[in-house]
Amino acid sequence: MDCITLVISLIGVVFAISYTLLVPRKAEDDETIKSTTKTEIPENLDKELLLKDYDITNQEIERRENITLVVGSILIAAAFLIASQPFLINNKTLIPIAALASIVLYLLWLFVLHLTTKYIDEIAYIRIHVLEERISELEKSKGYKFGVHTFLQEQIKEKVWIKVRRSFWGLLFIMLCGYWILISIFY
């Protein structure tokens, strides 16, 4: 049994579980952000300015998402590639180093890039919902309710699959740590 790899893996599991617990946010925080955003956007703002703000906010979310996915694709693939290296070169002494490197690499991406991006995007989505409300108020006379984000939010509330989707990266990280736990016990 490789105790060093086991300890590193168990520390990784603790971080993975803490990530899955951090993913849900407090509704009170959202309400505070929403009320601040509502006061920040004047009631009499022109529809064109509201649409421009809406478009820019959507672009910012898309940009952050693309960066997170590209960097994540590289770092997560690298973490799993590092996991295979001690076995490809048949060197058991590299197992703890590879475990540490792959877990730290995944942790950096998960907490530093992904989680912070997720929080920033959630704040941006609150702003988008406020903008959608304001644009819908302007279009009320035409019988039109503006806002795909608000529509989607209403459709996916309390769905099990969305909760699994939101914690996917934490679950994948638990799998990586589980792999190292198995290696530390059986190899």
pLDDT of the chain, 187 residues: tens digit per residue: 689 999 999 999 999 888 877 766 666 677 888 888 888 887 778 889 999 999 999 999 999 999 999 999 999 999 999 998 888 888 888 899 999 999 999 999 999 999 899 889 989 999 999 999 888 888 877 877 788 877 777 777 767 777 777 788 888 999 999 999 999 888 8
Query: What pLDDT does residue 17 have?
Result: 87
Asked whether the beta carbons of 96 and 43 are under 8 A apart, the reply is: no
Q: Which two tokens stand for residue 158?
A: 């309390």
pTM of the model: 0.81
Compute the radius of gyration of the chain from its Cα atoms. Answer: 22
- 76 φ, ψ to 5°? -70, -40
**Separation of alpha carbons 78 and 72, rounded Å:** 9
Q: Which two tokens stand for residue 127?
A: 């702003």
DSSP 41: S
Query: What pLDDT does residue 71 have?
Result: 95
Query: What pLDDT does residue 26 have?
Result: 62
Q: Which two tokens stand for residue 176?
A: 């990586």
Asked whether the beta carbons of 75 and 153 are under 8 A apart, the reply is: no
